Amino acid sequence: MKKYFLFVLLLIYFNQTFSQFSISTNHRYLLKDGKPFYWLGDTGWELFHRLTKEEADEYLKRRAAQGFTMIQAVVLAEMDGLHTPNAYGDKPLIDDDPTKPNEAYFKQVDYVVDKANSYNINIAMLPTWADKIFKDRWGTGPEIFNTKNAKIYGEWIGNRYKNKTNIIWILGGDRNPRNVNDVAIWNAMGEGIMQATNGKAIISYHPQPCDSGSATWFHHETWLAFNMFQNGHCRDNNVYDKIQLAYNMQPTKPVIDGESLYEDHPVCFNVKDLGTSSAYDVRKYAYLDVFAGAFGNTYGCHDIWQFYSTKYEAVNGPHVYWQEAMDLPGANQMQFIRRLIESHPMMERIPDQSLIEENNLTPAERIQATRGNDYAFIYTSEGKYFTVILNKISGTTLHAYWYNPRDGKTTDIGTIANTSTKKFTPPSSGYGQDWVLVLDDASKNYKLH
């Protein structure tokens, strides 16, 4: 009997210790259950606020089938989240008071978190959209937070979800702090969550576009586990330089682009002159982000983030209802970058532009390189040729092949000697013809599954 109880105690301890997120020992990656975790995110911002249980189930089931591992969603939502009730008529707070959460509303949040977990989907939970701290033309507010109630709310929501094993926390919500008071409010909320979770919460901050992302204000805060960017909704920003800036900061923390150009979004909010974004636009950002040092990537879709339907007013001209938008080409192609990264040792991968000679191209033509100890991936945005400087990974002989980001298929090149330099020309070139060159130490026999 004593042995049985000891076993149960060990099992509980093991689950508490490993059935959660943590940061890798090299401070570059996320772990879950002690194993490398690839963040393939989707910005389902209005998930808690606008969908019924059945709709949430439909969305999460489809995203799981497409290989997504993380959904970014907001509790006190962006779209008049305090005064427009959820699908069941419930508002999140009583009297707009963060210290008085409405139990009925949070039962729906509970349902979605648990349903996501049943599909092996994780939730990057934003306790509030930032217009509840700083209202501008992009938000309806009202401004309800101060340092005192932000900490109380942080403790409350942290305590409610502290035993959920599929939660990452994201503060912010599309705002850059204006002043020390804004910073103090976010610090208070972060400290509240950390206190409630005994310091185990993994937290980041979602800003508006800026050179250093969340690191601008919070890099040295103990609650900030990893840095986050968004690059806005324009084409061909040099996001790789911004990723590298945060990647090289001390102390070392993981970094990710938490909101790149959405699929089917008015480019730079200027549909008349620039049109809407394509699958290629979102693919390009994904590969450039990850190869520049990000530990994963977040996809987004203009029709999805707002869950566009007949029930709600459209924001910035979405084209199709969210159910149809789930199968836009870019969404289905995101699985291929996850498959590539997971096919080789993830934890040792580093960005390394010294692999190539062509480092002076424009963002639209960018060639980005990353490698492990015995493999290298080189992404060419428009299928331009490039020259590889060899002998930077192990192996006297390398297996070389092309990986197609559009369909995940490979084209074999053969074996090459791991010496000197070699020029590679992709199978096709031009707009939308992006490719990844894969170089493997031939003795490792890596396989893309």
pTM for the structure as a whole? 0.94
Task: Tell me the C-alpha distance between 448 and 199, whole Å.
Answer: 37
Burial (CB < 10 A; 0-12, 13-18, 19+), residue 398, is: buried
- Burial zone of 238 (CB within 10 Å; 0-12 exposed, 13-18 middle, 19+ buried): middle
**Spatial CA neighbour of 263 closest among 316, 331, 207:** 331
pLDDT value at residue 14? 40
Closest C-alpha to 164, from 124, 204, 104: 124
Structure confidence at residue 136 (pLDDT) = 81
Percent of the chain's residues with pLDDT above 90:
92
pLDDT of residue 356: 98
Distances (CA, A) of 222 to 28, 130, 251: 16, 21, 11
Please compute the mean of the pLDDT values over residues 86-96 and round it to a whole number: 98
Assigned token pair, 273: 């002159």
56, pLDDT greater than 70: yes
Query: Looking at residue 231, what is its pLDDT?
Result: 86
Q: Residue type for 370, please?
A: T
By mean pLDDT, which of 45-59, 232-246, 278-292 is the weakest? 232-246
pLDDT at 19: 54
Q: What is the pLDDT of residues 241-288, one digit of tens each?
A: 999 999 999 999 999 999 999 999 999 999 999 999 999 999 999 999
Model confidence at 9: pLDDT above 60: no
Note if the bond before 427 is cis, omega within 30 degrees. Answer: no
327 class by beta-carbon count within 10 Å (0-12 exposed, 13-18 middle, 19+ buried)? exposed
Asked if residues 114 and 60 have their Cβ atoms less than 8 Å apart, the reply is no
Angstrom CA distances, 395 to 259, 415, 448, stand at 38, 11, 19
Residue 13 reports pLDDT greater than 50: no
Mean pLDDT of 348-353: 98
pLDDT digits (tens, 9 = 90+) for 176-224: 999 999 999 999 999 999 999 999 999 999 999 998 999 999 999 999 9
List, in order of start, the domains of the chain with CATH numbers: 37-342 (3.20.20.80), 350-444 (2.60.40)
Across the range 306-311, mean pLDDT stands at 96
Give the pair of three-digit tokens for residue 101: 């959460």
pLDDT computed for residue 232 by the predictor: 85
Task: Write the DSSP string, 154-192.
Answer: HHHHHHHHTT-TTEEEEEESS----SHHHHHHHHHHHHH
Read off the pLDDT of residues 137-167 as tens digits, 9 standing for 90 and up: 778 899 999 999 999 999 999 999 999 999 9
Per-residue pLDDT reduced to its tens digit, 391-420:
999 999 999 999 999 999 999 999 999 999
